[in-house]
A and B are shown apart, each in its own frame.
Chain A
Amino acid sequence: MPLQDLPAGHEFPPESLIISEMEAAAYAAAVGDTSVETSERVPSVAVVAAGLSRFIKHLGLADGTVEVVHASQEISFDRPVTPGETLEIRATLKSNAERRGSRFATVEMIFVDGTGEQVASASSLILVNAT
């Protein structure tokens, strides 16, 4: 469903997310991050980046028909994520409004592990403009 048709409070179906050791290493190499041993730990922000990319795609915002700008970001980390670990993303559209011709949407994501414990959470404000 297009973003403009989704009400604030809409809950997306839960999604599985696994970041392999190879994907963690590719992410670290891309951002130039040598602060983390990616065979042991996924770079902290990689989890949030992967989740956000998915929901931008699900909302039909990644196909070039609109301009998407990332306006703000909040993140909390509860514990490090291990490569290959299965997480579940529980995402909610917290706000969705049009102002002065731009659409402002906030996606909140909670990442939980196989036991249901939260490992991270994030809230992303994106701005969408027609091209």
Chain B
Amino acid sequence: MTSQPGDRLNSIDRTVTQAQVEAYADAAEDHNPIHLDADFAAKTPFGRRIAHGMLTLALVSEMLTSAYPNNWASGGRLKVRFRAPVFPGETVHVIGEVKKVTESDGVRLAEITVGVKKDDGEDVITGQAFVKLD
């Protein structure tokens, strides 16, 4: 288990496609046209369709599930900000690093800095996750 300050979680690199966005829209029942309708999206400040924020956030949860198979789903906490949209066709890199480990009442809790970045380093998601280690 990744449990020491400075430990890095196994990163995920993934290219988000429009087909994936459409599959996600159906699966999550989120058919907001900013994700699906090119004409609508062209009139927004983004200028084109964007992936759902929750789709990108799912990659962060996937990374945490892989690192902490039981403790992420039982007692895990996450606090993130969405900094920039992901456009279909872009590749994102999901990263996590244990920032510190605290202990309270015999329970060790890891604070993990999590993030999603684009190829050029632009932040898509920044935030923290908290996972019990015991």
* Residues on A with beta carbons closer than 8 Å to the beta carbon of B72: 44, 77
Cβ A76 vs Cβ B77 within 8 A: yes
Interface on A for B, CB 8 Å cutoff? 23, 26-27, 29-33, 35-36, 41, 43-46, 48-50, 52-54, 56-57, 61-62, 64, 67-80, 131
Query: Counting CB contacts under 8 A, is B62 at the interface?
Result: yes
Cβ B23 vs Cβ A29 within 8 A: yes
Q: Tell me the smallest distance from the CB of A101 to a CB of chain B, in Å.
A: 12
Interface on B for A, CB 8 Å cutoff? 14, 20, 23-24, 26-34, 37, 40, 43-45, 52-55, 57-59, 61-62, 65-66, 69, 72-82
CA distance A52 to B29 in the complex (A): 10
Q: Tell me the smallest distance from the CB of B28 to a CB of chain A, in Å.
A: 4
* Residues on B with beta carbons closer than 8 Å to the beta carbon of A62: 30-32
Cβ B53 vs Cβ A70 within 8 A: yes
Interface of A is mostly: mixed
Q: Tell me the smallest distance from the CB of A115 to a CB of chain B, in Å.
A: 16
CA distance A53 to B53 in the complex (A): 12
Q: Given contacts A27-B28, A53-B29, A67-B34, are A32 and B54 in contact (CB under 8 A)?
A: no
CA distance A56 to B80 in the complex (A): 19
* Residues on B with beta carbons closer than 8 Å to the beta carbon of A56: 30, 32
Selected from B29, B44, B74, the residue in CB contact (under 8 A) with A79 is B74
Cβ A50 vs Cβ B28 within 8 A: yes
Cβ B61 vs Cβ A44 within 8 A: yes
Q: Tell me the smallest distance from the CB of B117 to a CB of chain A, in Å.
A: 17
CA distance A59 to B46 in the complex (A): 23
With both beta carbons as reference points, the residue of chain A lying nearest to B58 in the complex is identified as A31
CA distance A35 to B61 in the complex (A): 9
Task: Name 12 A/B residue pairs within 8 A (Cβ), A-sorted.
Answer: A26-B26, A26-B27, A30-B24, A32-B20, A43-B62, A44-B65, A53-B29, A70-B52, A70-B54, A71-B82, A74-B80, A131-B43
